[in-house]
Structure 1
Amino acid sequence: MATQPALFDAASHAQRWIEEYRTHDLRGDVLAAGADPAWMAAFEELAAVAGDDLGQARERVQRHAADIGTGFRIIDEEFERPWPVSPVPLLIDVQEWRTIERGVAQRADLLETIVADLYGAQSLVKRGHVPATLVTGSPYFLRPLVGVAPAGGRHLHVVAVDLGRGPTGEWRVLSDHLRMPSGAGYALENRLAVSRALGGLQGRINVRRHAPFFAAFRAGLASACHRADPRIGLLTPGRYNASYAEQAHLARYLGFLLVEGDDLAVREDRLYVRTIGGLKRVDALWRRLDPRLLDPLAFDTHSRIGVPGLIDAWAAGNVVLANSPGAGVLESAAFAAFLPQLSTRLTGADLILPSIATWWCGQPAEAAHVRAEMASMLLSSAFGHPLAALAGTTPGAELTAEGRAAFLTDLERRPQDYVGQEIVRLSTMPVVIGDRLEPRPFTLRVFAARDGDGRWQVMPGGFARIGEHPDPRAAVMGEGLWSADVCVHGAEAVAPVSLLPAPDSLHIRRNPGTLPSRVADNFFWLGRYLERGEALLGAIRLMLGNSIDADTGAALAPETVGRLVGEIVAAGAAPRPASLRRADLVPFARTALEAGEGGWQSVAQINAHARRIGAVSRDRLSADMVRLLDAPFPRQPGMLERCGSLQRRYAAIAGLSAEHMSRTAAWRFHDLGRRIERAAATARATRAFGLAGASLDDLTTLLDLADSQISYRQRYLTGIARVPVVDLVALDPGNPRALAFQVEAIRAHLAALPVLDDDGMAEPQQVEATALHALVTTAQAATLDAGTLGEIDRRLATLSDAVAHRYFLQGAEALRAAGLTLA
């Protein structure tokens, strides 16, 4: 009697999935050749974690990607979207991969030789091997850099190549990426997400690891620098860039400083990062910024995100840029038409990975060929800029009669602007659609980087883009709908290499490194916004009747409610209500809680400010913290329920800050922002509810706002009295919610942060903190009046300004105080 397979028999599920997949037309598919043990292993691993539910496998991998923080942004959208990862990786045998590896390295060497000539001797143009128009007509050719030798001696440090696999298994190059090669971080994140879901796959089929590639890239950049222990930064355009999340992840993984243009300054042809300790030398930048925006003094004078003088520092050999500005001249589709001949001429060998057939219309014979065969070609811009006659890359057969006439007219007028290319048909691979496997076309992005010896190292795998529709034409596929991990596998076991060095090989350090001024500014204001939102939320909850005092219950005296309303209005959270009746207070509270328009600084708007700061601080915040900051605004039906949900979120963030953030300078600025904001809120609340003549409801409200009800009850058993309440809330240094506690913490933080001068004299922010500390510690609860509390509030504002002037960026000013630290 035959035994029935177990319900969760992974092998049976995998076999069934493959058999069902083979019912599709798999001509050209990666599984067309028959049963492959590696693919069987991959599907068995999927079944082991998701049973018979492929949809669950997809959700599991996507959840891991979200946990890692993977995301991307669409132009004009404020918030990121989750990075779409397929649970089915693309598997490539190591023998097939070696051909790709050799081809990519050969191509990178060829591209380096060409770009060095175009910005050096220009012999290729002089001898007619490259038409001059092909170079000068490119928007990415930077004429001012001709004759400039790059720091480190090489123009290219990292290269990306897009490959297409044809129906018969051959690989060809679709495009090269030299200006700002992106996607290496997504390849890393795909690997992390899939590895967490399919933990046993790497060992079963010996998947080659990514870590050696990143280690080689880091060593290659470092070797091009003058100093033995260089400081390397990743230059980002900022959080609105489409791949900012990837850049932040890469910076953290590689140990690079994530910097923006405003973080950097050039002095005497050397590049520095502006930090809380002064200017610190930067030796190399992996730039993800358009080269024309790099330096407003050299290129686009309107650039607001570049670094004035950066090109002078690079030309002087004092900073390495990966890649050199101007290398993008080789990215144009037109240049692909000349690479086969240039490879033969310059290296004596054909390209291992040929480009797709390309005809540049700047040559009469090629233009005539494109006219004659346009119905079987892709028509595109030669240099990537928009054209009046084409809406992007367009199959000639799909042009209307009017479109065809417009194309031919413009081709006659400016033939050098156009190329014709063969239509590439792509292989397909399995992807989860709904609850089953479907074949979809894919392209592969592969990365190469120089190692410490200057040799090209190719990342084993890269990442795959998967098309939305079954149509296998590359032009129809576009950018793709999903991404997939790419696993290079073989018979030989893979050593468990990590980017991290051996535990005993590093010199121990407890200094966390350089803190840029912009990062300090962000952490300071993140603390202030979180504390400000929590304080406003507390006032709203109390006004709605959520007092925890058992004597007064939910009913506060109108005078106390009026003072709460006044505090909320003074915070700019909502306009003053017409009356203190509940019918007017409820919409007032709703505006203060969740208004998104009208300029009101509601809790929702304050949270949005904090969320934006979290978005630019991914390289320094934990994934849990980012998730809490990114969490959508609560939508429970009751307003008090929404308030409770927000309060728990604030408490979770505060707990992460207190218990999980290392006591670095970044944490000090975050906590400093919290302390200043809490101190100011406590001073204002004491002035509103704790002065002479305060009612029982006023004092109860003050204890609630200061979160000190329990502390007071434990200390005083005879009931509520004004002086003990004021002492506990304002002047008790042992109460972590008290004004005095915040002032002491502020003074301690400023004493621990770096100073620019070495004369032993206190800096202005330290002087302000000391004066504030003296004012609070000498005050008496019985005599504390509105004037003193107002002076404390004013001094807190002055102190905040002094901190900002000393530590944060002030426009283009290189230093914030007399004194300079260069390291």
Structure 2
Amino acid sequence: MATQPALFDAGTHARRWVGDYCATAGGADVLCGSGDLAWTAMLEELAAVAGDNLGHARERVQRHSVDIGTGFRVIGEANERPWPLSPVPMLIDSDEWQQIERGVVQRAELLELILGDLYGPGNLVSRGHLPAALVTGSPHFTRPLVGLAPPGGHHLHFVAVELGRGPSGEWRVLADHLRMPTGAGYALENRLAVSRTLGGLQARLNVRRHAPFFAAFRDGLAAACRRSDPRIGLLTPGRYNTSYPEQAHLARYLGLLLVEGDDLAALEDKVYVRTIAGLKRIDALWRRVDPRLLDPLAFDSHSRIGVPGLIDAYAAGNVVLANAPGAGVLESAAMGAFLPQLCTRLTGDELHLPQIATWWCGQPSECAHVAEEHRSMLLSSAFGSATLGLPGERAVAGSDLDDEARTRFLADLDRRPQDYVGQEVVRLSTMPVVVGDALVPRPFTLRVFAARDGEGRWQVLPGGFARIGEHADNRAAVMGEGMWSADVCVHGEEPVPSLSLLPAIDAQQIRRNPGTLPSRVADNFFWLGRYLERGEALLTAIRVMLGNSIDADAGAALGLDTVARLVSEIVASGAAPAPPSLRRADLTQFARTAMEAPEWQSVRTINGHTNRIAGGCRDRLSADMVRLLDAPFPTHRGMLDRAGSLQRRYAAIAGLSAEHMGRTASWRFHDLGRRIERAGAIVRAGRAFGMVGGSQDDVSTLLDLANSQISYRQRYLTGVARVPAIDLVLLDPSNPRALAFQVEAIGEHLSALPVLGDDGMAEPQQIEATELKALVATARAATIDADLLSEVERRLARISDAVARRYFLQGAEPLRASGLTLA
């Protein structure tokens, strides 16, 4: 009986929310116009989590979204923004969804038929069913692919359809997305975040799951490949793309290899990924790169993100591209004017999901109609690019044009009518969204996704995701890209089986091979480790310089000669310019610059480097690691507090690396970078503070910089002496901060990493590591001098260069490597 009051309270809150909301929302709203009890049930689940505080529900779902790693980037901004997710999902019952699903499948089949004709026999144009200018005028029509049969037999593997729900409940198509359909990853992430917030909703409403759709899509890509066990990649433009977080999440969820153009190489009409173990065959690419940039030899010769020779491999049938280049010709707004007639002609049936009324101005009568009625229409570019009459790329309502803009539009419409379309102004239904602590109505659009399964049939993702407008104006043109997103739940009376992309509990074959590691990702992990160590070493030097008492009023605890050496080391690292004096105020300002100045190689700048590098291997990092690397620079009031916060962050990242990363090649490159960077820092510290003639402060500083004070005191009780300190910091292989320990670890990593040759001989990086180990192992603490340490530093640099030449991207060098086996 203890749970009854809580359920009663949740129901009371839900009914009050519905009553208050529908008093202002009107009948064109999905909640108020449906009378569906599912909405009340969903709000009861929300109230059970948040009580009467809807603002708390919004914060909770947003926190889950951040934990999952959902984000996006606005063009021109350096940092990602958190993905804006509403805690109130959009609900669609199974009967209504069945009609949407039927219409999306029909549309996908129609688009495939049209593409097959445009890039095949060309009957639609030659027989006058499509104007030639409509096809050839599109910047997305790829003439070089005419007459080329796509590998796997299909141009389309994955499509997205933008839908609008009218005030009376009818659904209509607003746009098709075929070039690089985005959003499926966000739909998946929305579902994960909402499921964590409303844990009981799935079972209570029998919400259909997303996993079967993604499994079907993965099977469909594999079935289109020639090899029985294909290697499939997701081709991304890189971390600065607006939807890169979505791409990384999808690659991880589907088990695809996340690759950039530089990761790939075309050789003898096949495509390979450059890995640390040589070139590995790629059979299919789910591409997120603009088709015009895919191959500089076939399309845009200025492309820096494409793969030379990729289209030759595509033409030979050796790599599947989803979707095929050139599919974007059907995305143009002008194409919508012809789709209803084409559907009847090609399928014998009308469109199940109506197209919004469209008039292409490339036809005289339609142009005259748009010119006369443009005030009541939506006006846009016919092919998606800016025009003289409509400088922006977004559609605008004719009623919103001022006199000057209207004159400019009509003048250019007269000059180049084929560049414009007029469309009906679509009014959208509204749905509830949390603003402040209340539900308010906002217009929305629905993006639905369809993909081919292993049998070549279209499957539709049950739900997709909704984009919600910022303002109450329900015109689709005004809503634009929207300000919020919402999960879309398809529910019904039938129980939904618990399906997952994971195989049956006892069906999976055991595998200890972690998979393919691209050279670019290995490079990123290597330099991530180096920059993390570099930042920690610089921060340690700053703290030691000021005697671990940055905010104290007293002078530095160290002698001036030792402080001067520390300053010189920090200046040599490029972290700050030399201070005018060694007075406390100047040293404090010097420390602040070395820690925070963005124009120097300060700790803040180094942290920025780690953040950017981590972005390139986001799909292989844990959520905890990503959060630590993405965390903003500390803003504590005191410099000592900021330094302490940074030190704890470095320690947490090091702990995650040591205890949570699997001992894969990724970890080895990351740790190898750490060991090389730490070894170099120890060598420089030994040369500056451990040579003959140094003071006791110098030797103590050496122990501080090597984090070895406690180890020394446990071992030697009679005070600080130079030779024992040198032995502990440089030569003791049992000290994890010692040079000898780093050299030993470097050798172990290089012995465990794959070699590219097949002759069984040691490779240059292994030879360098063996020679360095011998040099350190035969050294004696009493006779170590600056020349020996300089030689060690040079050898560390040679090891780093040899690793880069052998494992990382070096232009075409991996293609020419002798003895290289292609797989």
Q: Is the 8 A contact 1:359 1:419 kept in 2?
A: yes
Residue 714 of structure 1 and its aligned partner are, at CA, apart by: 1.1
- Supply the distance in 2 between the matched residues of 1:81 and 1:465 (Cα, whole angstroms): 16
Q: Match of 1:150? A: 150
Partner of 1:433: 435
* 1: CA distance, partners of 2:5 / 2:630: 44
Quote the residue 2:722 is aligned against.
722
Report the CA distance between 1:582 and its aligned residue. 1.1
1:272-325, CA deviations, whole angstroms, 9 ceiling, x for partnerless residues?
000001100000000000000000000000000000000000011000000000
Are residue 769 (structure 1) and residue 769 (structure 2) matched? Answer: yes
Partner of 1:678: 678
2:305 corresponds in structure 1 to 305
- Counterpart of 1:529 in structure 2 is 531
Question: Which of 515, 518, 525 is 1:516 aligned to?
Answer: 518
Report the residue type matching 1:611 in the other structure: N
Structure 2 equivalent of residue 269 of structure 1:
269
* Alignment of structure 1 residues 626-641 onto 2, 5 Å: 626-641=626-641
Give the SS at the match of 2:153.
coil
**Per-residue CA shift, 1:107-129, capped at 9, x if unaligned?**
00000000010000001111110
Aligned AA (2:214): F
Report 1:90-489 matches (<5 A): 90-390=90-390, 391=392, 392-489=394-491
Q: Which amino acid aligns with 1:97?
A: W
CA 1:369–1:464: 2 relative to 1, 3 Å:
same
Please state how far the C-alpha of 1:637 moved relative to its aligned partner: 1.4
* Contact 1:547 1:704 (C-alpha < 8 Å) held by counterparts: no
SS of the residue aligned with 1:318? coil
TM-score of the superposed pair, with normalisation by structure 1: 0.98
Q: Secondary structure of 2:766's match?
A: helix
Q: State the one-letter code of the partner of 1:293.
A: L
- Whether contact under 8 Å (1:236, 1:247) holds in the other structure is yes
The answer (yes or no) to whether the contact 1:746–1:769 under 8 Å persists in 2 is yes
Whether contact under 8 Å (2:25, 2:32) holds in the other structure is: no
Per-residue CA distance 1:229-267 (angstroms, 9 max, x = gap)? 110000001111100000000000001111100000000
Once residues 812 and 28 of structure 2 are traced to their aligned partners in structure 1, the CA distance between those partners, rounded to angstroms, is 57
Match of 2:152, SS? coil
The aligned amino acid for 2:796 is L
Q: Tell me, yes or no, if the aligned pair for 1:262 and 1:812 is still in contact at 8 Å.
A: no
Shift of 1:547: 7.6
Cα distance in 2, alignment partners of residues 579 and 403 from structure 1: 63
| Change beyond 3 A, Cα 1:471–1:741 | same
Corresponding residue of 2:87 = 87
2:500 matched residue in structure 1:
498
How far did 1:818 drift? 2.1
- Counterpart residue type for residue 466 of structure 1: I
**1:593-742 paired onto structure 2 within 5 Å:** 593-597=595-599, 600-742=600-742
C-alpha separation between the residues in 2 aligned to 1:478 and 1:777?
67
Q: Distance in 2 between matches of 1:84 and 1:408?
A: 38
Residues 679 and 743, structure 2, Cα contact 8 Å, conserved in 1: yes
Distance in structure 1 (CA, Å) of the matches to 2:402 and 2:430? 30
1:544 is displaced (CA, Å) by 1.5
Q: How far apart in 1 are the matches of 2:586 and 2:168?
A: 73
Structure 1 residue 36 displacement after superposition: 2.4
Q: Secondary structure of 2:538's match?
A: helix
1:736 to partner: Cα distance: 0.5
How far 1:738 sits from its partner (Å)?
0.5
User: For residues 553 and 510 of structure 1, what CA distance do their matches in structure 2 show?
Assistant: 57
- Letter aligned with residue 534 of structure 1: E
Counterpart contact for 1:8–1:51, Cα < 8 Å: no
Give the drift of 1:402.
2.3
Q: 1:656 to 1:816 in 2, by over 3 A?
A: farther
The correspondence for 1:561, drawn from 558, 563, 566, is 563
Tell me if 1:591 matches 2:593. yes
Counterpart secondary structure, 2:813: coil
Aligned-partner Cα distance in 2 for 1:394–1:677: 55
Matches of 1:11 and 1:278 in 2, distance apart? Answer: 61
**Residues 544 and 640 in structure 1, CA contact (< 8 A), matched pair in contact too:** no
Deviations 1:173-206 (A, max 9, x none): 0000000000000000000010000011001000
- 2:637 aligns to what SS in structure 1? coil
| Cα-to-partner distance string for 1:788-820 (whole Å, 9 max, x where unaligned) | 111001100111001001100013434373231
Counterpart CA distance in 2 for 1:542 and 1:814 is 44
Q: Is the contact between residue 806 and residue 817 of structure 1 (CA under 8 Å) also seen in structure 2?
A: no
Residues 5, 12 of structure 1: 8 Å contact kept: no
Q: Check whether the contact 1:747–1:770 (CA below 8 A) recurs between aligned residues.
A: yes
Q: Give the drift of 1:545.
A: 1.4
| Conservation of the 8 A alpha-carbon contact between 1:810 and 1:816 | no
Larger deviation, residues 16-25 vs 131-140: 16-25
Q: What 5-or-longer segments of structure 1 have no aligned partner? A: none
2:12 is aligned with what amino acid?
S
% identical aligned pairs: 76
C-alpha distance in structure 2 between counterparts of 1:130 and 1:424, whole Å: 25
CA distance in 1, matches of 2:570, 2:555: 21
How far off is 1:693 after superposition?
Answer: 1.7
Task: Give the equivalent residue in structure 2 for 1:507.
Answer: 509
CA distance in 1, matches of 2:590, 2:528: 26
Closer, same or farther: CA 792–8 of 1 in aligned 2, 3 Å: farther
Please give the secondary structure, in 2, of the residue aligned with 1:667.
helix
Compute the displacement of 1:640 (Å). 1.3
Residue identity matched to 1:559 = D
Alignment TM-score, normalising by the size of structure 2: 0.98
Work out the CA distance in 1 between the residues paired with 2:546 and 2:815. 48
Tell me the amino acid that sits aligned with residue 496 of structure 2: V
**Residue pair 1:428, 1:441 contacting (<8 A) in 2 also:** yes
- Secondary structure of the 1:505 match is coil
Please list the CA deviations of residues 737-780 of structure 1 after superposition, one character each: whole Å capped at 9, or x if unmatched: 10000000000000000001121210000000000000001101
Contact 1:807 / 1:816 at 8 angstroms: preserved in 2? no
Q: Deviations over 1:527-573 (max 9, x none)?
A: 0000000000000001121189xxx9961000110111111011111
Count matched residues.
815
Q: How large is the RMSD of aligned CA atoms in angstroms?
A: 1.4
AA partner of residue 493 (structure 1): P
In structure 2, give the amino acid aligned to 1:479.
Answer: E
State the SS of the aligned residue for 1:9.
helix
Deviation at 1:32, TM superposition (A): 2.4
Q: CA deviation at 1:38?
A: 1.1
Q: Give the residue type in structure 1 aligned to 2:325.
A: P
Cα distance, 1:401 vs structure 2: 2.2
Is the 8 Å Cα contact of residues 6 and 48 (structure 2) preserved in structure 1? no
- Indicate the SS of the match to 2:193: helix
Partner amino acid, structure 2, of 1:104:
V
> 2:79 is matched by which residue type in structure 1?
F
Alpha-carbon separation, structure 2, partners of 1:493 and 1:146: 47
SS in 2 for 1:815: helix
Q: Given residue 420 of structure 2, which amino acid in structure 1 is its aligned partner? A: Y
Tell me which amino acid in the other structure corresponds to 2:590. F
Q: Distance in 2 between matches of 1:633 and 1:429?
A: 39
Q: 1:6 to 1:232 in 2, by over 3 A?
A: closer
Map of 1:538 onto structure 2: 540
The whole-number CA distance in structure 2 between the counterparts of 1:786 and 1:420 is: 77
